[in-house]
Amino acid sequence: METTTMVPATALTVEAENADPKSQGRLALSARRKKPFRWALWSTLTVIGLFAFLPIYWLAVTSVTPNDQVFAYPPSLVPTEVTFEHYVSVFANPAIFGYLKNSIIVSVVTAVLSVVVSMYMGYAFSKFRFRGRKSLMYFVLSSQMFPQALLLVTLYVVFAQFGLLNTYQALIISFTTFTLPLCVWMLKGFFDALPDDLIEAAKIDGAGPWRTFHSVILPLALPGLVAAGLFAFVRGWNDFMFALTLAGPEKQTLPPGLVNTFIFEASAAWPALMAASLLVSAPVCIAFIFLQRFLVGGITAGAVKG
């Protein structure tokens, strides 16, 4: 009785390709084409990585460099001597904690207020049909066409007349005004992605419009709400021009506060400023790390055309 030997199909394929000169030529040509593509891809990623992370690395290096070596020539990418006295000086400065408190108050209130207002506006634009809806939508969007610096003088005069200069209210109102258009359109796009069948099902179950929105729609819109809130928070945290102009020394946030603390008329404490900049950037970086999933989902959903 003859014994039959089973040969795997993959082995037969390899043998066939090895026996066929044309197949070998196609494989060699494909390998030669992929090699330059891989080199180009990795080169592009390397350039982008250096462009993004080299300033951060230089910031960290400067923050641990002694004062007498900051302007050494030629500059060194690796510090020859490391010191943490600049971080100690930042923590020992009580004014920094005052600026930090102001930034937290202004940024958190701006984020909450922007989300609360924009979620109702975005939902109304998305699920309701009324006269002038499209005109109002584009009117909200058109406010992004003008540079925000043009409004600085006007806002300064208005806040001065109402006695709001050098207060938290002036900064919160300004930042909320600038963040609302993008937040509204972001959440509108997110609400557009939610099917209307959810609203109809809630009506059948006896839920009213307010109950439907707060109990059914908002839990599903959590990624969009987080994305809008994070955008508004970063806008309030990073602003320099309005915080410097509309707020006095007691209400200034971190960006103008750090400049006034470490940059003087004829000199600047660059290592201490770099150390403070790294420390105050940590909360935003941590927020992005933990909320990245919600942020990406919210921005992606907000990109849906409505």
Model pLDDT, residue 129: 85
How confident is residue 119, by pLDDT bands cut at 50, 70 and 90?
very high
Model pLDDT, residue 300: 53
pLDDT tens per residue across span 231-285: 899 888 988 899 999 988 888 999 999 888 888 877 788 888 888 888 888 877 8
How confident is residue 110, by pLDDT bands cut at 50, 70 and 90?
very high
State whether 38 and 185 are in the same domain.
no
142 occurs within a structural domain = yes
Type of residue found at 276: A
State whether 30 and 179 are in the same domain.
no
What is the DSSP secondary structure assignment for residue 69, as one 8-state letter?
Answer: G
State whether 125 and 53 are in the same domain.
no
Number of domains in the chain: 2
20 occurs within a structural domain = yes
73 occurs within a structural domain = no
State whether 37 and 97 are in the same domain.
no
Of the two residues 183 and 298, the one the predictor is more confident about is 183
211 vs 180: CA distance, rounded Å: 24
State whether 94 and 40 are in the same domain.
no
Mean pLDDT value across the chain = 81
State whether 141 and 32 are in the same domain.
no
- C-beta separation of 69 from 280 below 8 A: no
Half-sphere CA count of 209, side-chain side, radius 13 A:
5
102 occurs within a structural domain = yes
**142-151, 197-206, 222-231: the lowest-pLDDT one:** 142-151
State whether 243 and 173 are in the same domain.
yes
Is pLDDT at 109 greater than 80 in this prediction? yes
196 occurs within a structural domain = yes
70 occurs within a structural domain = no
Average pLDDT over residues 221-240: 88
State whether 54 and 143 are in the same domain.
no
State whether 273 and 208 are in the same domain.
yes
Encoded tokens for 264: 């003087």
109 occurs within a structural domain = yes
Q: In this structure, what are the phi and psi dihedrals at residue 243, rounded to the nearest 5 degrees?
A: -65, -30
Please work out, in degrees rounded to the nearest 5, the angle formed at the alpha carbon of residue 222 by the alpha carbons of 113 and 129: 75
State whether 38 and 167 are in the same domain.
no
Average pLDDT over residues 56-70: 86
Average pLDDT over residues 167-188: 90
Of the two residues 292 and 83, the one the predictor is more confident about is 83
pLDDT tens per residue across span 150-167: 888 888 999 999 998 999
State whether 298 and 184 are in the same domain.
yes
What is the DSSP secondary structure assignment for residue 263, as one 8-state letter?
Answer: B
Encoded tokens for 114: 């922007």
179 vs 229: CA distance, rounded Å: 9
Model confidence, pTM: 0.77
For the chain, the residue count is 306
Secondary structure class of 74 (helix, strand, coil): coil
Model pLDDT, residue 27: 58
CATH number of the domain at 105, please.
1.10.3720.10
121 vs 101: CA distance, rounded Å: 30
pLDDT tens per residue across span 25-62: 565 556 566 667 777 778 888 888 888 888 888 888 88
Model pLDDT, residue 28: 59
Largest CA distance in the chain: 108
17 vs 24: CA distance, rounded Å: 6
76 occurs within a structural domain = no
> Range of 32's domain?
9-63
Model pLDDT, residue 120: 92
Residue whose C-alpha is closest to residue 192's, from 122, 114, 116: 122
How confident is residue 1, by pLDDT bands cut at 50, 70 and 90?
very low
State whether 227 and 103 are in the same domain.
yes
Model pLDDT, residue 32: 61
Residue whose C-alpha is closest to residue 255's, from 284, 228, 226: 284
